[in-house]
Structure 1
Amino acid sequence: MPLQPITPTDSRIQHKTAVLSGYTYHYLHGVPVAKQKGTVFLIHGWPDLSMGWRFQIPLLLDMGFQVVAPDLMGFGGTDAPKVPPNPINLYGYKRASDDIAELAKEVGAEKIILGGHDWGGFVVWRAAQWHPELVTHVFSVCTPYTAPQEVYHSLEQIVQGPLPQFGYQIHLASGDVEKSVDNEDSIRQFLKGMYGARGPNGEVAFSPEKGLLVENLPSLGEGGLLRGEILDYYVKEYSRHGIHSTLNWYRTRKANWEEDRGLLERQEISIPALFIGATQDSVLKPELSRNMEKFLPNLTRESVEAGHWALTQKPEEVNGFIRKWLEAQNPDLKSSL
């Protein structure tokens, strides 16, 4: 029988908060019924929440893991400090990595397995580098590893060069999107569209090259991967702060590059790593991962026939890959299934 995804009111998880370096984080916390065999942290992306891991959390609990899934800075129940006056680094990889390390102390985990998707994928690769004493294994869905760079390349240079499909990031960083997605109704349409809902004539909400197609939002109908209770939860959580703070993640390229310079001598990640590529991801295309073995000597690759939302589009396949990989690292896990 397939594992049932968690819901916002699910008894298998608790909604908790922790103050980490002065800011309050909301996180989902699950404890296995059987003997605990480790701790897994799950890090979401945009426009997502900790609830984006709703299909994977039951698997990991059943395998005997304590599960911790925080809302990233600016998302959901986590604080959303304004920039300015606060520095944009609050929305960067290093701050997220350091806050993961602090949250691990909060839940009593001396070692963690770290999984990420979308922005969360970028975060977990960096967290494994900034905190090698903490992270024993790392996996990412859709997001390939990118090594720290000696030379800075602006987003505009990247878009005009090898990655035109990153053009949407220029739009999301511009400040224009939040002018139109500024109330509960428009947030609902935005979220429906980002998760695949279409209009009567096939209108879509998003173009990799252009960004959010605001003019199409009013025409979007029901459908896509967010609906019912989960859609209502996402709308409520995104309405807490509005979407401006979540878009700060697209304004950190220079800040991330500057902090990444502290990792130029630590580009290799030697711990066991799993990358699950999505064949139909229109932005994080599978070919972006082709050089990962150069930096990840203990890499396992898998591939799922899905788009960017593989976690919820093809959860059984994704869960199967995660389970197989974890069992390969520790055969004792098999006995807990």
Structure 2
Amino acid sequence: MSLQPIEPDDSRIEHKTAVLNGLNYHYLYAVPPGGQFNATVFLIHGWPDLSLGWRYQIPQLLGMGLRVVAPDLMGFGGTDAPKVPPNPINLYGLKRASDDIAALAKHVGAEQIILGGHDWGGFVVWRCAQWYPKLISHVFAVCTPYTPPHEQYLSLEDLVKGPLPQFGYQIHLASGEVEKSVNDEQSIRQFLKGIYGGRGPNREEPFDPHKGVLVENLPIIGDSRLLNGKILDYYVKEYSRHGIHSTLNWYRTRRANWEEDQGLLDKKQIHTPALFIQATFDSVLKPEMSQSMDQLIPNLTRGEVASTHWALTQKPEEVNAIIRKWLENQGFGTRSSL
């Protein structure tokens, strides 16, 4: 079934704000027609994305009788972007994001939530399910495999030299170099077009997983099929609020996340019912990275879509079908409601 994606000024959603643990968050809020719902789903985006990155999934979830809450993460869009320093980098970490999700659930009156994530949002939801197992009744991630907490610290540089060379881009994103070139509305627009699949006239690439953002190619990048028109305009406006620097703080949290993960070393297994959707052509979060998940998540369902990293918008009907089937098998929604 083809569903009309949510737009920024869509009547099916409300733009709301809430103060969570002292900082202001923007979030999308939606309830099914009639206002009745049988469960609440939280949707957590990644980089460089926004809550509206779930625009193809929100209508389906509403059609299943579910309430939807989708926040902008710290440093993104309408959510605060505290400067580091003087603030600690932990504000952009997985533990803080988990704490803020729990605070937002309390704010909207949800005693339990279904929690879904993509990209950085995927890392967040796995950790949130560990920090708040009573709050998270079900958890799902698109593209992002579960990685357990580790006793020993492994730096990003060692990770890139070793098992995950395709994470080299994260070194560039953390370096402070990218925001020197991506620093106004026009360069943000070109950057977003490129990350979402736009190419130069001779197929010039704007991004290399091993190197990072190829800033010299950004001025010649053409349109993206995945992010264009009024949606692109909205993203440019939202990313221009704080600039791109605050969103890149997420790539500066590796040690902080490891330190806070030490509180989860006895919780490496996730017993919450879980769904993982693999994008088979993801050039960073590759299929082999999820091989150990079945041992760590006993109640795991797997699905896959033939897409790049941007599965939510590149193959929305396939992603939606997997999520719908899983939720129905867990007792949410009915086929007739679709």
The reply to whether TM is greater than 0.5 is: yes
How many residue pairs get matched?
Answer: 337
Partner SS state of residue 259, structure 2: helix
SS at match of 1:61: helix
Query: 1:181 corresponds to which residue?
Result: 182
Give the Å deviation of 1:333.
3.3
Residue number in structure 2 paired with 1:7:
7
Q: 2: CA distance between counterparts of 1:223 and 1:57?
A: 22
- In the aligned structure 1, how far is the partner of 2:321 from the partner of 2:138? 17
Indicate whether 1:18 and 2:18 are aligned: yes
What does residue range 236-255 of structure 1 map to in structure 2 within 5 Å?
Answer: 236-255=237-256
State the Cα RMSD in Å. 0.9
Q: 1:335 to 1:116 in 2, by over 3 A?
A: same
What is the correspondence of 1:174-253 to structure 2 with a 5 Å cutoff?
Answer: 174-253=175-254
Contact 1:193 1:224 in 2 (8 A): no
Counterpart contact for 1:129–1:269, Cα < 8 Å:
yes
* Deviation digits for residues 214-234 of structure 1 (CA, Å, limit 9, x no counterpart): 000001112331100000000
Aligned counterparts of 1:51 and 1:223: Cα–Cα separation in 2: 17
CA contact (8 A) 1:27 1:69 kept: yes
Q: Deviations over 1:97-148 (max 9, x none)?
A: 0000000011110000000000000000000000011000000000000000
Q: In 2 relative to 1, CA 328–220 (structure 1 residues): closer, same or farther, beyond 3 Å?
A: same
Deviates more, 1:264-273 or 1:243-252: 264-273
Percent identity over paired residues: 74
Give the corresponding residue for 2:136.
135
Q: Which runs of 5+ in 2 are unaligned?
A: none
Q: Hey, what does 2:318 align to over in structure 1?
A: 317
> 1:170 & 1:187 partners in 2: Cα distance?
20
Q: Which amino acid aligns with 1:79?
A: D
Question: TM-score under structure 1 normalisation?
Answer: 0.99
Aligned partner of 2:71 in structure 1 is 70
Separation in 2, partners of 1:19, 1:333: 35
- Which residue identity does 1:319 align to in structure 2? N
Separation (CA, whole Å) in 2 of partners of 1:298 and 1:333: 22
Of 209-218 and 1-10, the range deviating more from structure 2: 1-10
SS of 1:185's equivalent in the other structure is: helix
In structure 1, how many angstroms separate the alpha carbons of the residues matched to 2:187 and 2:263? 40
Contact 1:277 1:286 in 2 (8 A): yes
**Runs ≥4 residues deviating over 2 A:** 331-337
Report the AA paired with residue 23 of structure 1.
L
- Partners of 1:288 and 1:15 lie apart in 2 by 36
Determine the C-alpha separation between the residues in 1 that align with 2:225 and 2:95.
33
Query: What is the deviation of 1:33?
Result: 1.5
TM-score (norm 2): 0.98
Match of 1:285 in 2: 286
SS of alignment partner, residue 80 of structure 1: coil
Q: Distance in 1 between matches of 2:101 and 2:223?
A: 36
Q: How big is the shift at 1:334? A: 3.5
Residue in 2 aligned with 1:60?
61
Counterpart for residue 95 of structure 1: 96
Q: Partners of 1:125 and 1:331 in 2: how far apart?
A: 21
How far the C-alpha of 1:331 sits from its partner, in A, is: 6.0
SS at match of 1:238: helix
The answer to whether the Cα contact below 8 Å between 1:142 and 1:281 also exists between their aligned partners in 2 is yes
Secondary structure of the corresponding residue to residue 176 of structure 2 = coil
- Measure, in 1, the Cα distance between the counterparts of 2:48 and 2:272: 29
Q: Label 1:330 to 1:41 Cα distance change in 2 as closer, same or farther (>3 A).
A: same
**Aligned twin of 1:151:** 152
